[in-house]
Amino acid sequence: MKKQLFPEASVYRLCLLYRLLESIGKEGVRNVTSFRISELLGSSPDSIRKDVSFLGSVRSGKEGYDVSDLSECIGRAFGFPVTKPACVVGLEGIGAAFIQFPELVPPPFQLKAGFDSSINRVETLNTPIPLFPSYQIEEIIQREKTEIALLTAPPGEARKQLDRLIAGGIRGVINFSPVFLQTNEKVFIRNSAVLEDFRILSAHMELYN
Amino acid sequence: MKKQLFPEASVYRLCLLYRLLESIGKEGVRNVTSFRISELLGSSPDSIRKDVSFLGSVRSGKEGYDVSDLSECIGRAFGFPVTKPACVVGLEGIGAAFIQFPELVPPPFQLKAGFDSSINRVETLNTPIPLFPSYQIEEIIQREKTEIALLTAPPGEARKQLDRLIAGGIRGVINFSPVFLQTNEKVFIRNSAVLEDFRILSAHMELYN
DNA sequence: CCTTGTGAACTCGTTCACAGCT
DNA sequence: AGCTGTGAACGAGTTCACAAGG
């Protein structure tokens, strides 16, 4: 893997910041200080300033950063302006949620297809996005030039579906299945742990009270 | 806040480990080494051993840890054996997903109610969990002794709904809304960023390729 | 003046290396 | 013999403190 330009933690915060800027931009806010950002995002102003400095020069004055310029700089650095076709693999649980509420998936990603190994589920689910049986993964994602997949298949299946995605030329995978996945192919895998949020919160409640 | 017994990062990994142990335990696996765990979870064996050491003494031998004992120790430390009533506030987007697929929410949490400020949505959504208008939050969560809420209300509303939850005596909140929430009341707030996973993955794809 | 930008100090977490169990 | 448990070394990330700029 190539040398890291942005620290991991900065990428994370800048993604949160990007969303924040979209939101306050729509409200008509033009400028925002690192201190104000820290109130809204919960990180220190120092971290925010350091993160922004990785972007290079962002328009700022004594009113703070220029909202639209900062937003553009983040977008440019991270490739957000380019829409990216996406698909969902596994239509139980959280996969079903994403395929039935495609607006959950934020721009620039666009859901193009859903896959499941149960033909019955493929045929009976009623969704705004077309569904296919899993054996068609390779074919369909090549046709749609799909770059990103949400993998929500159960543990036993996850590996097989990942291989199909790789065969079809996927570039990135968000893994919502509870097993850690890795590969030596040139594919980016992000292991998400949404469902763990519940237990992590519970652990905190137990530990500090 | 009380002194921290477990490092933040260890709590996170132990929650992942807990799920892993449930899963391999069902398959009949009795022992697991820190090295094997590291393969399945993607953290180093050293970190895993250090995490486990915070639990106190766990039964282990030259085959590694005893799966069921390790699982019990984590559960005991984090309060997992006790079922906890939960609710969803905000029935658009990810809130709708959770209320329509309550099995997404892992044990020991049990969804008891959903709330939305749109009466229309409350009346028309078809869900396995009872729905109520938001002004009843305080009343219902007191009645159901609800400890945890999933807050998915839009940014402008999130604060108001949080105040209602606090008035009703909520103990923990998972905040899925894109604004950071905090309070000086004795309530645990975990700011989740599932939807940011997409952009974080995209950023990685852009930065290192 | 109130802001950003940034080296330096510090804190937290990870990795290393090996002693101690079973 | 193979594993866990853990102080010590290391590295990443955060906070501090102050210089510089609109």
- Cβ of B57 near strand D (under 7 Å)? The reply is yes
Q: Which of residues 49-88 of A touch strand C (CB under 7 A)?
A: 49-50, 52-53, 57-58, 60, 62-65
As given in the structure block, the two tokens for residue A84 are 């990216």
Q: How far is A84 from chain B (nearest CA, A)?
A: 9
- Whether residue B172 and residue A42 make contact (CB cut-off 8 A), yes or no, is no
Report the residue from A1, A23, A202 with minimal CB separation from B84. A202
pLDDT tens track for A119-146:
999 999 999 999 999 999 999 999 999 9
Q: Judging by beta carbons within 10 Å of its beta carbon (0-12, 13-18, 19+), is residue B53 exposed, middle or buried?
A: exposed
Instruction: Please say if the pLDDT value at position A155 is more than 90.
Output: no
CB contact under 8 A, A203 and B94: no
- CB spacing of B41 vs A174 below 8 angstroms: no
Residue labelled with tokens 């239509």: A91
Q: What are phi and psi of A205, to 5 degrees?
A: -65, -35
Say if residue B2's pLDDT is above 60.
Answer: no
Instruction: Give the residue among A78, A64, A80 at the shortest CA–CA distance from A24.
Output: A64
Check if residue A121 sits with its Cβ under 7 angstroms from strand C: no
* CB of A43 within 7 Å of some strand D atom: yes
Q: How far is CA A173 from CA A80, A92, A108, A116, A207, in A?
A: 17, 17, 15, 16, 34
Mean pLDDT (whole number) for A149-173: 95
CB atoms within 10 A of CB B69: 16
pLDDT at A156: 87
Judged by average pLDDT, the poorest of A118-127, A142-151, B125-134, B170-179 is: B170-179
Residue-level pLDDT at B25 = 94
pLDDT band at B4 (very low <50, low <70, confident <90, very high): low
Mean pLDDT (whole number) for A167-191: 90
Measure CA to C1' and name the residue nearest C17: B46
Q: Rounded to whole angstroms, how far apart are CA atoms A200 and A194? A: 10
Q: Mapping DSSP to helix (H, G, I), strand (E, B) and coil, where does residue A28 land?
A: coil
A48 neighbors A38 (Cβ within 8 angstroms)? yes
Tell me what pLDDT residue A3 has: 44
CA B11 – C1' D3 distance (Å)? 23
Pairing of strands B172-175, B131-133: unpaired
